[in-house]
Chains A and B, each alone.
Chain A
């Protein structure tokens, strides 16, 4: 039976880690637990439940920065930001429902620890680009800070970046300062119906290479589009390529016209207004087409222009998926056999990227690994960095690399 420890402050957290080091008790680090299924299962006698470390500490709209304790729900942060017409521009996804967890429970700490970003990644950058500073309890039982509350900062190594995407294996985030940006006044999504993946990639590339400030570009093959809650998309009866623009109304209207002209060569054009646009991009962001059921789910990060070819190759193997980030991100659902899994990894490598096994039975995770295997030189480097933060291996043991 796992014992649950619930620190209420950063100091508690540090003291607990010091205790865990001295007693050699490995810990599973949990916020609201929405993404416990992301990564390998953690072998730990104790669970460090950070849900007590919640609440917004400071928010200064004119400074474009918000500081919150790590387990503050993203939904709470976004509600506060809306009051000042601001937002987390990297569009943190809500992946909890993929694992059967309740929606809107994801925490800031979990999003940063996973470096998880939504469709606007292609324009504004990832969670790691918006995380300005962190307070971290390390696996040495010390409370350290890195970064700050300002955008421009080259004072010592950027440990903040290292925390993003380390899934709680280097330190326990206790407090985070994050950059916020104005929310767009108006949004439009231009749709092209009936493209194949290769053509869709060309259309998205043309849009993203134009001066029209595209903030998202996705391609949903016909069976995926049919599952959308947005009637225009579901009722298209064909694949849908979606390109989003945002900004002041006068600017959106000019760019909308220009973009429709540019894309008319690729097929029939439709457009979505604010509400439907919001609903569509939320589905794309959260991998909603795959949220029901427990099929094996992959997330491939590849060179954007090769996204269409990879999606086609996956399709040839009977693996269904869709493109975000202008082709640079592929969500795909495969069968449970190892052979498929190896093919997905190989395909992602051939497109210059990598593939993460987001959801799978444990036997498959353990056979093939959740995160893409790294070359030996990089593996060694990562291990030495880990040893510097967590020499006794008490933090989320095995979550990223089995047995580590």
Chain B
């Protein structure tokens, strides 16, 4: 995002220490109709977007960084929202457990942010995204009410408010506590590199692995530019003569991993793989992943700037989408590098541009919008795990009708009728809640549908 000129925030940034303090702050803001932007910051706000409003208060959640409870018998952990994703897995590792969703930014990203964006990671094909691994939340509503949802039990009573909160991009409430489920670590983990001479064969291989009844723990794809960029950057040992490279990770007892690895290799051979390599040690497996996980910085090294897109498509449309993306890239005159969670259809094309060049950023945004429209056109969605935010809100109409979006905004009205929390995100056209709630009732004027009556 480009930096925007900032005006001084008239309301102070605050660093509450507990839920009651958050509730007090939010209640005060609500009473004075001051907008609230929660963030994980520890000291003062970062420069940028939120100060677009004349009166807004940052609520820093930097002090919400403690692990509150580790409950092995119920296989769950309760933390404050500022705890990092990786810290949860680290805290339970010695006992043989981990927290499954693992976004690439897991060293730094907070669990509160993961809940807000319903983050995934490379293992979500088998283990699900955040919403599938979340058991409970404590939230503060914009009116200061503290609401506890879920807990250590599995099913919700009443409406699935936990589900609607997850992925709501911070628009519905301030999260003050999170309970996630943890899983026992798999007995063994194996990884394979599968290289192909063309994208179509790699795409076919993905579809055939899944059709064969194999759900890999991770199934990632990189195109040729991504393979070259990462190999230059970190020497992961990738083959440079391929158009597409798959990393397939399988987990379970070693007998299962061995057998399924054989089956995957057979499928890959059938699909014309030119490289088939199995990691023979944990060190080699880590190196396979090193390249994939370094894709972003690697691209950062070959291009002055890059712009990461996030969209999801049906797996079967992969080669078609990549081909058309290549055409769009030529059309706009900007290179695109592709890394892809192939197992679950989540694309992360990286557009290479130069922010110093006049017009480059605008071209980038236009190309990104074209790529996302393409995702929706083939039956996919605008975002797999990064959310809509401000960046994609004007594209919501590509995927949703006006009625769809209005119904979504009525959720916002139920939680925050004055629109004070994280304003300006997700929806292109804001309607006042009073207007959204209104309904024309035409007594005796709506025809009874022409149906057989019984």
**Is the pair A6, B452 in contact by a Cβ cutoff of 8 Å?**
yes
Does A213 count as interface, using CB distance less than 8 angstroms? yes
**Is the pair A164, B379 in contact by a Cβ cutoff of 8 Å?**
no
Query: Contact check: which of A86, A255, A356 meets B157 at CB < 8 Å?
Result: A356
> Which residue of the partner chain A has the closest CB to B454?
A4
Least CB distance from A202 to B in Å reads 9
Query: Contact check: which of A143, A181, A382 meets B159 at CB < 8 Å?
Result: A382
Q: Which of A29-37, A103-111, A229-237, A387-395 touches B?
A: A387-395
Least CB distance from A291 to B in Å reads 21
Evaluate whether A129 and B128 lie within 8 angstroms (CB atoms) in the complex, with A122-B154, A248-B260, A255-B253 already known. Answer: yes
1/0 per position for A137-171, CB-CB distance to B under 8 A?
A: 01011111110111111111111111011100010
1/0 per position for B140-169, CB-CB distance to A under 8 A?
A: 010001111101111111111111101111
Least CB distance from B43 to A in Å reads 29
**Is the pair B446, A21 in contact by a Cβ cutoff of 8 Å?**
yes
Least CB distance from B29 to A in Å reads 18
**Is the pair B381, A148 in contact by a Cβ cutoff of 8 Å?**
yes
**Is the pair A388, B407 in contact by a Cβ cutoff of 8 Å?**
yes
Taking each of A5, A138, A185, which has the highest tally of chain B beta carbons within 10 Å of its own beta carbon? A5
Q: Which of B122-143 contact A (CB under 8 A)?
A: 124-125, 128-129, 131-132, 141
Does B411 count as interface, using CB distance less than 8 angstroms? yes
Q: Which of A269-277, A297-305, A334-342 touches B?
A: A297-305
**Is the pair A153, B381 in contact by a Cβ cutoff of 8 Å?**
yes
Evaluate whether A156 and B443 lie within 8 angstroms (CB atoms) in the complex, with A162-B160, A301-B157, A382-B158 already known. Answer: no
**Is the pair B444, A22 in contact by a Cβ cutoff of 8 Å?**
yes
Query: Contact check: which of B161, B313, B400 meets A382 at CB < 8 Å?
Result: B161
C-alpha spacing A89/B336, complex, angstroms: 37
Q: Which residues of B contact A374 (CB under 8 A)?
A: 157-158
Does A15 count as interface, using CB distance less than 8 angstroms? yes
**Is the pair A161, B381 in contact by a Cβ cutoff of 8 Å?**
no
Q: Which residues of B contact A18 (CB under 8 A)?
A: 446
Least CB distance from A176 to B in Å reads 15
Does A352 count as interface, using CB distance less than 8 angstroms? yes
Query: Contact check: which of B148, B149, B151, B407 meets A144 at CB < 8 Å?
Result: B407
1/0 per position for A50-61, CB-CB distance to B under 8 A?
A: 000000000011
Q: Which of B268-317 contact A (CB under 8 A)?
A: 312-316
Q: Which of A59-94 contact B (CB under 8 A)?
A: 60-65, 84-86
Q: Which residues of A contact B399 (CB under 8 A)?
A: 155-156
Q: Which of B10-18, B58-66, B81-89, B382-390 touches A?
A: B382-390
Does A128 count as interface, using CB distance less than 8 angstroms? yes
**Is the pair A63, B156 in contact by a Cβ cutoff of 8 Å?**
no
**Is the pair A154, B153 in contact by a Cβ cutoff of 8 Å?**
no
Evaluate whether A387 and B437 lie within 8 angstroms (CB atoms) in the complex, with A6-B454, A22-B443, A150-B312 already known. Answer: yes
**Is the pair A391, B439 in contact by a Cβ cutoff of 8 Å?**
yes
**Is the pair B388, A159 in contact by a Cβ cutoff of 8 Å?**
no
Does A97 count as interface, using CB distance less than 8 angstroms? no
**Is the pair B164, A162 in contact by a Cβ cutoff of 8 Å?**
yes
**Is the pair B160, A164 in contact by a Cβ cutoff of 8 Å?**
yes
Q: Which residues of B contact A153 (CB under 8 A)?
A: 312, 381, 383-384
Q: Which of B34-42, B224-232, B339-347, B358-366 touches A?
A: B339-347
**Is the pair A371, B384 in contact by a Cβ cutoff of 8 Å?**
no
C-alpha spacing A117/B160, complex, angstroms: 15
C-alpha spacing A372/B131, complex, angstroms: 23
Query: Contact check: which of A60, A141, A181 meets B215 at CB < 8 Å?
Result: A181
Query: Contact check: which of A62, A154, A156, A400 meets B315 at CB < 8 Å?
Result: A62
Evaluate whether A159 and B411 lie within 8 angstroms (CB atoms) in the complex, with A150-B345, A182-B213, A378-B161 already known. Answer: yes
Q: Which of A190-198, A204-212, A312-320, A359-367 touches B?
A: A204-212
Least CB distance from B406 to A in Å reads 8
C-alpha spacing A380/B414, complex, angstroms: 9
Interface of A is mostly: mixed
**Is the pair B147, A125 in contact by a Cβ cutoff of 8 Å?**
no
1/0 per position for A166-189, CB-CB distance to B under 8 A?
A: 100010000000000111010000
> Which residue of the partner chain B has the closest CB to A116?
B155
**Is the pair A128, B163 in contact by a Cβ cutoff of 8 Å?**
yes
C-alpha spacing A185/B412, complex, angstroms: 45
**Is the pair B414, A385 in contact by a Cβ cutoff of 8 Å?**
yes
**Is the pair A62, B152 in contact by a Cβ cutoff of 8 Å?**
no
Evaluate whether A371 and B260 lie within 8 angstroms (CB atoms) in the complex, with A23-B446, A125-B128, A211-B184 already known. Answer: no
Evaluate whether A62 and B313 lie within 8 angstroms (CB atoms) in the complex, with A148-B380, A157-B408, A162-B164 already known. Answer: no
Does A118 count as interface, using CB distance less than 8 angstroms? no
Q: Which residues of B contact A129 (CB under 8 A)?
A: 128, 131-132
Q: Which of B71-79, B192-200, B324-332 touches A?
A: B71-79
C-alpha spacing A368/B157, complex, angstroms: 15
Q: Which residues of B contact A185 (CB under 8 A)?
A: 213
**Is the pair B210, A144 in contact by a Cβ cutoff of 8 Å?**
no
Q: Which of A1-43 contact B (CB under 8 A)?
A: 3-8, 12, 15-16, 18-19, 21-24
C-alpha spacing A305/B72, complex, angstroms: 9
**Is the pair B252, A247 in contact by a Cβ cutoff of 8 Å?**
yes
Does B410 count as interface, using CB distance less than 8 angstroms? yes
Does B357 count as interface, using CB distance less than 8 angstroms? no
C-alpha spacing A60/B341, complex, angstroms: 19
**Is the pair B381, A155 in contact by a Cβ cutoff of 8 Å?**
yes
C-alpha spacing A49/B208, complex, angstroms: 40
Evaluate whether A155 and B396 lie within 8 angstroms (CB atoms) in the complex, with A381-B161, A389-B410 already known. Answer: yes
**Is the pair B449, A15 in contact by a Cβ cutoff of 8 Å?**
yes
**Is the pair A165, B384 in contact by a Cβ cutoff of 8 Å?**
no
Q: Which residues of A contact B74 (CB under 8 A)?
A: 303-305
Q: Which of B390-421 contact A (CB under 8 A)?
A: 396, 399-401, 403-405, 407-408, 410-415
Evaluate whether A213 and B252 lie within 8 angstroms (CB atoms) in the complex, with A125-B128, A125-B132 already known. Answer: yes
Does B191 count as interface, using CB distance less than 8 angstroms? no
**Is the pair B259, A150 in contact by a Cβ cutoff of 8 Å?**
no
C-alpha spacing A339/B189, complex, angstroms: 53
**New contact pairs (4) apart from A6-B451, A251-B259, CB-CB < 8 Å:** A371-B158, A382-B158, A384-B414, A386-B159
A-B pairs, top 3 by smallest CB distance, nearest first, are A161-B163, A388-B410, A251-B256
Jot down 15 A-B pairs with beta carbons below 8 A, ordered by A. A22-B444, A84-B211, A125-B128, A143-B403, A146-B407, A150-B313, A150-B384, A152-B381, A208-B75, A210-B184, A250-B255, A303-B153, A305-B73, A380-B145, A387-B437
Interfacial residues, chain B to chain A (CB-CB below 8 A)? 71-75, 96-97, 117-118, 120, 124-125, 128-129, 131-132, 141, 145-149, 151-164, 166-169, 184-187, 207-208, 210-211, 213-215, 252-253, 255-256, 259-260, 312-316, 341, 344-346, 379-388, 396, 399-401, 403-405, 407-408, 410-415, 426, 436-437, 439, 441-449, 451-454
